[in-house]
């Protein structure tokens, strides 16, 4: 499309963006971007005055939404103007929508910073039109195999956009994303020191991962999260940096504080997963010379609208929901690790379902085999309840292999949520953990909310 036609299209889409919320309260975040790209595939590159040194892309398997939220909050708290795709898609059409909303009628980008959550698979395509000079990679782990195949597939996509103009912000304890360090102009490493939640894995059947540089075995000295910890390669010199740029120390999970360069930070979220997100935020904020006191203030006031944990009371039982992403062993493992911290009597409901993300629907539960249940199994559990029509028996079988007593497992081979609730009524303990995807959780919660016992 000729540049002269860009402006009428932009104006029209700005009007459409104003109209959409009148008709669709919760939707329409990508529509104008989709239209724009349909009519002009170079639409994004036609915006002016974008300072690519102040465009920060955040990608990775887990943690990109939380980190994007947090970073946008921190920068705004420091008085910066920020455009971010929090409300929209993390693919190309979402970025186009963001630019339509954050530009003048002359197509001039009207914010100082752009903080963008980027879908790993879309990185190549987006970076072609928006060549950001800052890239944060939270981690590159197994995820959505039906779409991604294996992590190396994503690794190669991200590697293709890294240039010597770019500053990379990398997790010092995640080998695969750290493997991208060689091509960047500058690398800033963020890290967590060993802490009370640090653990080791010495199980004979535990597997590690291949080195992203030489394919030999990676060994971990310890883990801070599943597959994230201080590591070294057994075949080459690749390892966690001895002196990372940002090192979080003295984490106090009870008081929700940690230290970094002798400064004490108070935070609202105290899991190791979040502390990594905070560490990345410190790294980026420091790079852009945000004063420490302002960063600290931002952390105190940050509330994540997309928190994965929820609690409610039903029938005098405290239900603790732990959201997991299917085909993503780390989210399931991190939920299990958190449950294992609770040594009191509990019931655990697990609903893995067939995968419906893309056609065809299929019955993958093999990601559960990447998880370790030993720590949970060693705690006091009244009952385990596995539910879903197609894969409840596979879930049950995994638990039996992990050493769970068969008699403690109830298998519900049905998608009827009422049957799950019946079991919820039957158990005696008032301490209940529920691990499942967002959709079945919403179904369960909706039914319970209509019950008078719901609080």
Partner 1 sequence: MEDKTINIFWMYPDMLNLHGDRGNILALGKVADKMGLTLNVTKIERFNEKIDFEKADIMLFSPGELKVALKVLDRLKDDIREVEKYIASNKYILVIGTTGSIFGKEIELLEDSKIVKGLDFFNMYSKERNSVIGDDIYFSINDKQEIIGSQIHMLDFDVNETQVLGNIKYGYGDNGNKTEGARVKNLIFTNTLGPVFVKNPWWAESILGDIADRKGIEVKDIPVEHYEIEIKSFNSIKELIDKKLEKI
Q: Between the CA of residue 322 and those of 86, 207, 307, 441, what are the distances in Å?
A: 22, 25, 10, 9
- Which one of residues 276, 367, 384, 387 is an interface residue with partner 1 (CB under 8 A)? 367
Q: Between 149 and 185, name the residue whose CB sits nearer to partner 1.
A: 149
- Which one of residues 24, 300, 356, 389 is an interface residue with partner 1 (CB under 8 A)? 389
Contact status: 364 vs partner 1 (CB under 8 A) = yes
- What residues does 137 pair with on adjacent strands? 59, 170
- Which one of residues 391, 434, 435, 448 is an interface residue with partner 1 (CB under 8 A)? 391
- Which one of residues 21, 149, 185, 291 is an interface residue with partner 1 (CB under 8 A)? 149
Name the 3-class secondary structure at 50.
Answer: coil
Contact status: 152 vs partner 1 (CB under 8 A) = yes
From residue 295 to residue 334, the character string flagging contacts with partner 1 as x (rule: CB under 8 A) and all else as - is: ----------------------------------x-----
- Which one of residues 216, 250, 268, 301 is an interface residue with partner 1 (CB under 8 A)? 216
Contact status: 430 vs partner 1 (CB under 8 A) = no
Contact status: 236 vs partner 1 (CB under 8 A) = no
Residue with tokens 């028996």: 393
The distance of closest approach from Cβ of residue 372 to partner 1 in the complex, given in angstroms and rounded to an integer, is 11
Q: Please, where are the H alpha helices in 182-307?
A: 272-287, 292-301
Q: Please, where are the H alpha helices in 113-164?
A: 123-129, 145-148, 151-159
The distance of closest approach from Cβ of residue 144 to partner 1 in the complex, given in angstroms and rounded to an integer, is 9
The distance of closest approach from Cβ of residue 213 to partner 1 in the complex, given in angstroms and rounded to an integer, is 11
- Which one of residues 23, 105, 205, 254 is an interface residue with partner 1 (CB under 8 A)? 205
- Interface region with partner 1, contact rule CB under 8 A, candidates 32-40, 132-140, 182-190, 213-221: 213-221
- What is the DSSP code string of 322-377? EE--TT-HHHHHHHHHHHHT--S-EEEEEE---B-SSSSPB---GGGGGS--HHHH
Q: Between 82 and 352, name the residue whose CB sits nearer to partner 1.
A: 352
Q: Between 201 and 249, name the residue whose CB sits nearer to partner 1.
A: 201
The distance of closest approach from Cβ of residue 229 to partner 1 in the complex, given in angstroms and rounded to an integer, is 14
Residue 64 token pair: 């990109």
Contact status: 360 vs partner 1 (CB under 8 A) = yes
Contact status: 23 vs partner 1 (CB under 8 A) = no
Question: Which residue, 323, 344, 345, is CA-closest to 334?
Answer: 323
Contact status: 394 vs partner 1 (CB under 8 A) = yes
Name the 3-class secondary structure at 175.
Answer: helix
From residue 399 to residue 418, the character string flagging contacts with partner 1 as x (rule: CB under 8 A) and all else as - is: -xx-----------x-----
- Which one of residues 16, 20, 145, 340 is an interface residue with partner 1 (CB under 8 A)? 145
Name the 3-class secondary structure at 276.
Answer: helix
Contact status: 221 vs partner 1 (CB under 8 A) = no
Question: Which residue, 276, 317, 300, 97, is CA-closest to 171?
Answer: 276
Q: Between the CA of residue 49 and those of 87, 111, 145, 400, 450, what are the distances in Å?
A: 23, 9, 39, 59, 52
Question: Which residue, 81, 72, 75, is CA-closest to 111?
Answer: 81
Question: Which residue, 319, 347, 283, is CA-closest to 449?
Answer: 319
- Which one of residues 7, 52, 306, 362 is an interface residue with partner 1 (CB under 8 A)? 362
Name the 3-class secondary structure at 170.
Answer: strand
Contact status: 368 vs partner 1 (CB under 8 A) = yes
Contact status: 396 vs partner 1 (CB under 8 A) = yes
270, 62 in Cβ contact below 8 A? no
The distance of closest approach from Cβ of residue 176 to partner 1 in the complex, given in angstroms and rounded to an integer, is 10
Q: What are phi and psi of 258, to 5 degrees?
A: -150, 170
92, 129 in Cβ contact below 8 A? yes
> Site residues (CB under 8 A) for partner 1?
142, 145-153, 204-205, 207-210, 215-218, 234-235, 329, 354-355, 358, 360-364, 366-370, 389-394, 396-398, 400-401, 413
């Amino acid at each position: 499309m000729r540049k002269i036609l860009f402006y009428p299209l932009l104006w029209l889409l700005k009007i459409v963006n104003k109209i959409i919320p009148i008709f669709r309260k919760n939707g329409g975040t990508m529509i104008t971007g989709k239209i724009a790209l349909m009519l002009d595939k170079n639409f994004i590159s036609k915006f002016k005055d974008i300072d690519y040194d102040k465009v920060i892309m955040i990608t990775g398997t887990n943690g990109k939404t939380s980190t994007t939220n947090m970073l946008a909050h921190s920068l705004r708290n420091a008085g910066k103007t920020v455009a971010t795709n929090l409300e929209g898609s993390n693919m190309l059409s979402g970025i186009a929508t963001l630019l339509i909303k954050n530009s003048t009628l002359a197509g001039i980008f009207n914010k100082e910073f752009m903080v963008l959550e980027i879908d790993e698979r879309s990185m190549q395509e987006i970076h072609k039109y928006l060549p950001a000079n800052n890239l944060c990679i939270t981690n590159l782990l197994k995820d959505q195999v039906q779409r991604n195949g294996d992590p190396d597939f994503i690794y190669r996509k991200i590697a293709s956009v890294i240039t010597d103009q770019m500053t990379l912000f990398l997790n010092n304890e995640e080998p695969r994303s750290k493997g991208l360090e060689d091509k960047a102009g500058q690398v800033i490493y963020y890290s967590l020191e060993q802490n009370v939640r640090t653990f080791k894995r010495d199980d004979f059947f535990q597997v590690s991962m291949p080195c992203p540089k030489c394919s030999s075995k990676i060994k971990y000295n310890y883990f801070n999260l599943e597959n994230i910890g201080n590591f070294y390669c057994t075949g080459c010199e690749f390892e966690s940096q001895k002196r990372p740029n940002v090192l979080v120390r003295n984490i106090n999970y009870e008081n929700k504080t940690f230290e970094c360069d002798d400064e004490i930070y108070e935070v609202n979220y105290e899991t190791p997963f979040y502390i990594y997100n905070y560490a990345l935020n410190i790294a980026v904020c420091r790079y852009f010379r945000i004063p420490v006191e302002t960063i600290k203030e931002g952390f105190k006031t940050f509330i994540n609208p997309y928190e994965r944990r929820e609690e409610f009371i039903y029938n005098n039982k405290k239900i603790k929901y732990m959201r997991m992403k299917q085909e993503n062993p780390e989210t399931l493992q991190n939920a299990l690790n958190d449950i294992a911290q609770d040594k009191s009597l509990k019931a655990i409901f697990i609903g893995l379902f067939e995968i419906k993300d893309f056609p065809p629907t299929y019955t993958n539960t093999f990601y559960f085999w990447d998880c370790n249940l030993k720590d949970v199994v060693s705690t006091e559990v009244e009952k385990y309840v596995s539910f879903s029509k197609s894969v409840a028996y596979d879930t049950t079988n995994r638990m039996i292999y992990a050493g769970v007593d068969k008699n403690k497992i109830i298998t519900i081979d049905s998608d009827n949520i009422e049957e799950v609730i019946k079991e919820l009524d039957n158990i005696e303990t008032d301490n209940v953990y529920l691990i499942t995807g967002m959709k079945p959780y919403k179904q369960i919660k909706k039914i319970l909310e209509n019950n008078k016992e719901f609080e």
